[in-house]
Structure 1
Amino acid sequence: MAPDDAAEEVAVPDGRSLRWRKHNQARRQKIIDAAITVLGRQSPGEEVQIQAISEESGVARTVMYRHFADKADLDRAVQREICNRLGEVLIPALAHDGTPEEIIHRVIEGFVLWSVDNPSLFWFAERDLSGWGPTPLQEAFEKIAEAIEAIMDTVVAYVGVELSQDDRDGIDPWVFALIGAAFTGIRRWASRDPRVPDIQQFIDIMSESIWLQINGMALSRGITLPDGRIVDLLHSMGTEPGAVEPSQATGA
């Protein structure tokens, strides 16, 4: 057997190692899920105790720290899981089977309903745990922003308007500003006691506000936003849904 072949064979994990790795991954996820369950039972701002997570998961505290470097590592993993679950609510709302205005309304509605149902998770998701790189919430915002930019690119391509270089460069931070404003507004409303206006009125107000900003910006650039479904616009251009990548049509 050649030396390279031997090295390659050694690098392949055996069945026992794979089973052990899967076991560790499953136990790690069990701990994260337990932390979220405990967090969901508590009031926003209340710290989650390791002992409570241990009891909920059935995993001893000493064993828990074999899967996480420290409490901060566990907290960050919990944040990421919360944001993944939020993404499971918001990303489908961005599906192309609606008009741009309908899609905006669906996203805002999904975010508001989630924040009401999960106040402690909402609070925990935005905590600054410090550390390098983007936070899980920022990463979630990036995914949402990419989906919104893809929709905007589709509309720009459909109407055939040439944007200036400054406008192309400004789309990304502008979309992030819209998302940040929506997040801040929803957080403010969710923290009010009582929550006024009522939930449906608030969803409508927030959706209309975001839509007016998008529509107003488009009109100022000579773009009349179509009122058709995004999927129909794509079909009319001979493009399959999902084929337009963020910033493709705007040339960024």
Structure 2
Amino acid sequence: MTGATRVGCVPLPRIDGRAVRWDEHRAERRLLVLDAAVAAIEEAPPGAEINLQQIADAAGLVRTVLYRHFEGRAGLQRAVRGHIVSMIADAVILNITLEGSIDEIIDRALRGFVGWVDEHANLYVWGERELGDGQESQLLALTQSIADQISAVIGFAAQALGREFDDEEQAAIELLTFGIIGQVRGTVSSWVRRAERAPGVDALVAMLHRSMWLQIDDQARMFGFELDPTVPVMDLFAATAVQD
């Protein structure tokens, strides 16, 4: 039974315990289905289609329950892709920090991404597929989110080094950053689909690393910075603070 409790003169709604338990049950069921879908995709041959019955069987549920929790086939497909994209995000975003040198930061982020794709190739390819439902690609949204985060880090680093970008410069940095991230994603997307995945992970990371650094170095020089990729970033900030 629902009602209201008063705190002073303000009525507070009473929480319906049954509704809370049902919400928790739905969340648990959704996660069970998403994990089952991920397992089914991982175990399938590359490029194989995964149907709803396979996911239902893996989750130990009937198909009608899947529809009930995901508003139909399209809703389930989008939820599964969102789940996969969140796994990719965990592998990448957690590695984008200012710890270590520029070389170490680039290497850490690339190894997190390429390593995850190499280990979960089926998931990555499945997560890249467009649904055709008119909504934004979840992987594209993640690419934009990562680019925005890196652009913010660049802006912070520039301020720490005594340089503040104007609006036009910041807009250019955001576009260039998105382009670099998109280039990495496009290269890895092509690589993971090769019958023989060559070059290997280490060689691919090294190739992408060099490409990223050359672009970063070129743009930094345009803005008046000469960066040493081997020096810890925090040491660069400390040296600038001492000079000031």
Query: Would the alpha carbon gap of residues 231 and 136 (structure 1) be closer, same or farther in structure 2, given more than 3 Å must change?
Result: farther
State whether residues 155 and 164 of structure 2, in contact with CA within 8 Å, keep that contact through their aligned partners in structure 1: no
1:157 and 1:109 mapped to 2: Cα distance?
28
Q: Is 1:58 matched with 2:64?
A: no
State whether residues 149 and 172 of structure 1, in contact with CA within 8 Å, keep that contact through their aligned partners in structure 2: yes
> What's the secondary structure of 2:204's corresponding residue?
helix
Cα deviations across residues 68-115 of structure 1 (Å, max 9, x unaligned)? Answer: 111111011011111111111111211221222221111111111111
Runs of at least 5 residues in structure 1 that lack an aligned partner in the other structure? 239-252
Q: TM-score, normalised by structure 1?
A: 0.84
**Selected match of 2:177 from 164, 175, 181:** 175
1:12 and 1:25 mapped to 2: Cα distance?
22
Listed as ranges, the matches of 1:1-252 within 5 Å are: 11-227=13-229, 228-233=231-236
State whether residues 40 and 118 of structure 1, in contact with CA within 8 Å, keep that contact through their aligned partners in structure 2: yes
Compute the displacement of 1:63 (Å).
1.3
Greater RCO between the two (CA within 8 Å, min separation 6)?
1
Compute the displacement of 1:177 (Å).
0.9
State whether residues 100 and 151 of structure 1, in contact with CA within 8 Å, keep that contact through their aligned partners in structure 2: no
More deviation, 62-71/125-134: 125-134
State whether residues 155 and 225 of structure 1, in contact with CA within 8 Å, keep that contact through their aligned partners in structure 2: no
Compute the displacement of 1:142 (Å).
2.7
Cα deviations across residues 154-175 of structure 1 (Å, max 9, x unaligned)? Answer: 3311332354543222121211
Cα deviations across residues 170-192 of structure 1 (Å, max 9, x unaligned)? Answer: 12121111111100111112222
Quick one: which amino acid aligns to residue 233 of structure 2? I
Compute the displacement of 1:36 (Å).
0.8
State whether residues 155 and 165 of structure 2, in contact with CA within 8 Å, keep that contact through their aligned partners in structure 1: no
RMSD: 2.5
2:240 and 2:20 mapped to 1: Cα distance?
47
Q: TM-score, normalised by structure 2?
A: 0.86
State whether residues 26 and 69 of structure 2, in contact with CA within 8 Å, keep that contact through their aligned partners in structure 1: yes
Compute the displacement of 1:151 (Å).
2.4
Compute the displacement of 1:23 (Å).
0.5
Q: Percent of pairs identical after alignment?
A: 29
Quick one: which amino acid aligns to residue 230 of structure 1? V
After the TM superposition, list the runs of 4 or more consecutive aligned residues in structure 1 that deviate by more than 6 angstroms: 235-238
2:62 and 2:238 mapped to 1: Cα distance?
55
More deviation, 175-184/91-100: 91-100
> What's the secondary structure of 2:163's corresponding residue?
coil
Compute the displacement of 1:237 (Å).
7.6
Compute the displacement of 1:116 (Å).
1.1
Compute the displacement of 1:226 (Å).
4.7
